[in-house]
């Protein structure tokens, strides 16, 4: 962490970046979280087919089940919405914001809520089947976080927007918790199979391959756990930032392909790590810009995006070397890219959903929320970047946090696009789930 970075934090303050999945019933499309679907995305924008309003910000990504899109909302509900009509099939209430992406397996829907519970719902009716209580949710927090003042104050990280999205593998639901544990729970009964303690909040989503569960923690370590027992196989230590805690922690979820784990980190790197040993293979240095988006991996290439520097990047999976010219997303990216046929979809926090050509990265079309177009309060510059100097009056905690909250006012896309039947489904911080074709 450099003084340059601290100055940037104190001045224009803070950064962002989100996540994106595909037409299947789990975050990032499957246990390995590769973020690739065989579904074809529209190459041109036609219209918003329907828009489904909820009561709260949507950072959860949609998943597909039986002709419906399922997702959570910060209004505390999990929704099943008919994909064709946009009408609600059912709504299931939890005790807190559902900032995680549901997973569907064998007629059950699993979702994590800010009330500190993993829920199992009946996929047809939304009826609660069981709940599993953790030791409680919380955001990542630290004294003097991001350089906020007063520095002796402990601040919750407003950019810790997601909860861990459950992984379903071998009849167990695996997820991380704000209590610092990774849990494995029997999918049928909701009873604990094992739990593993990390050093801090776990809000990344576990990935799975070859008997290993791989998940990062806000303690700055990426863990590989035995899926059957929860025993640690290895841990990879990423960067730490003991002064302002800005440049540390895994918010990005790992993707696994061909024996390699790819994962972004808030320490300003994308890492490639050997799945069996945890040995580092290569990394991409983003010069301090968070990589909160979960990478997508397909055919020897890795797609990811950055937060503050708003970079759209494609690198070679074997070497980490650029495989495509770097593009700009204009604003922070937290959501993950979805590879859908020859198109890459990416949600941006400035309220735009971008569709890019997979081969060369050029923008094919862009959808902007009504709030982004209206840009009330000049949250965005005329170029679509965040007006940081306008939003953040100072580095004092309350004023800075107010600026962070105002950013969402443009309908930020924290979620990852789902593609099914030629339609893109994505939720926005404007509390709306969109079906775009």
Partner 1 sequence: MSAPVHRCPGAATLVLLAAGLACAGARAASDPAGRWEGVADVPGQPLRLVIDLDRDAQGHWTGSAILPGRGVKGAAVDGLAVAGCDVRVGLAAAFPGGAALQPKLALACRGDGALAGTFTLGGHAAPVSLHRSGPAQVDRPPAVRPITAALAGRWTGRYELGGFAREVTLTLANGADGTGGGQLVIVGKRTTTLQVDQVTQGREFVSLRASAANFAIEGRFAAQEGVIDGAMSQGPYEAPLVLRRQPGQKAS
Smallest distance, partner 1 to C-beta of residue 271, A: 35
Q: Which is nearer to partner 1, 362 or 376 (CB)?
A: 376
Q: Give the pair of three-digit tokens for residue 348.
A: 């941006």
Q: Which is nearer to partner 1, 49 or 276 (CB)?
A: 49
Q: Which is nearer to partner 1, 75 or 200 (CB)?
A: 75
Q: Which is nearer to partner 1, 365 or 390 (CB)?
A: 365
Q: Which is nearer to partner 1, 59 or 225 (CB)?
A: 59
Smallest distance, partner 1 to C-beta of residue 70, A: 15
Smallest distance, partner 1 to C-beta of residue 155, A: 20
Q: Which is nearer to partner 1, 152 or 382 (CB)?
A: 382
Smallest distance, partner 1 to C-beta of residue 262, A: 31
Q: Which is nearer to partner 1, 45 or 396 (CB)?
A: 45
Smallest distance, partner 1 to C-beta of residue 183, A: 17
Smallest distance, partner 1 to C-beta of residue 348, A: 14
Smallest distance, partner 1 to C-beta of residue 226, A: 28
Binding site for partner 1 (CB under 8 A): 45-48, 50-51, 53-57, 73-77, 86-88, 91, 95, 127-131, 133, 190, 365-368, 370, 373, 376, 430-432
């Amino acid at each position: 962490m450099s003084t340059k970075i601290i100055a940037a934090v104190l001045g224009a303050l803070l950064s962002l970046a989100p996540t994106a999945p595909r037409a299947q019933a789990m975050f990032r499309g499957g246990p390995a979280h590769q973020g690739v679907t065989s579904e074809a995305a529209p190459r041109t924008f036609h219209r918003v087919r329907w828009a489904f309003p909820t009561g709260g910000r949507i950072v959860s990504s949609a998943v597909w089940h039986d002709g419906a899109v399922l997702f959570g909302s910060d209004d505390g509900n999990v929704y099943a919405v008919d994909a064709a009509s946009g009408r609600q099939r059912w709504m299931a209430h939890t005790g807190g914001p559902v900032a995680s992406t549901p997973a569907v397996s064998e007629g059950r829907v699993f979702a994590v809520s800010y009330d500190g519970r993993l829920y199992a719902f009946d996929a047809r009716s939304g009826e609660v089947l069981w709940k599993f209580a953790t030791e409680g949710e919380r955001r990542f927090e630290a004294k003097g976080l991001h350089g906020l003042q007063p520095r002796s104050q402990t601040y919750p990280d407003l950019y810790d927007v997601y909860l861990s999205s459950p992984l379903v593998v071998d009849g167990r639901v695996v997820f991380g918790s704000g209590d610092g544990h990774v849990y494995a729970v029997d999918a049928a009964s909701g009873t604990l199979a094992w739990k593993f303690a990390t050093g801090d909040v776990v809000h990344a989503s576990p990935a799975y391959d070859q008997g290993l569960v791989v998940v990062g923690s806000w303690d700055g370590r990426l863990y590989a756990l035995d899926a059957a027992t929860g025993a640690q196989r290895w841990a990879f230590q990423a960067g730490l930032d003991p002064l302002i805690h800005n440049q540390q922690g895994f918010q990005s979820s790992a993707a696994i392909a061909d024996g390699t784990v790819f994962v972004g980190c808030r320490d300003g790197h994308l890492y490639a790590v050997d799945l069996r040993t945890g040995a580092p293979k290569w990394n991409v240095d983003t010069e301090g810009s968070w990589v909160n988006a979960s990478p997508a991996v397909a055919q020897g290439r890795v797609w990811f995006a950055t937060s503050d520097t708003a970079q759209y990047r494609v690198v070679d999976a074997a070497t980490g070397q650029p495989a495509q010219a770097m593009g700009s997303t204009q604003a922070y990216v937290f959501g993950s890219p979805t590879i859908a046929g020859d198109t890459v979809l990416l949600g941006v926090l400035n309220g735009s959903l971008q569709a890019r050509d997979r081969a060369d990265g050029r923008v094919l079309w862009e959808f902007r929320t009504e709030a982004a177009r209206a840009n009330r309060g000049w949250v965005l510059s005329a170029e679509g970047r965040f007006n940081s100097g306008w939003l953040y009056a100072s580095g004092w905690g309350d004023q800075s946090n107010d600026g962070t909250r105002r950013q969402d006012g443009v309908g930020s896309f924290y979620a990852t696009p789902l593609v099914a039947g030629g339609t893109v489904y994505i939720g926005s911080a404007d509390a709306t789930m969109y079906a775009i074709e």
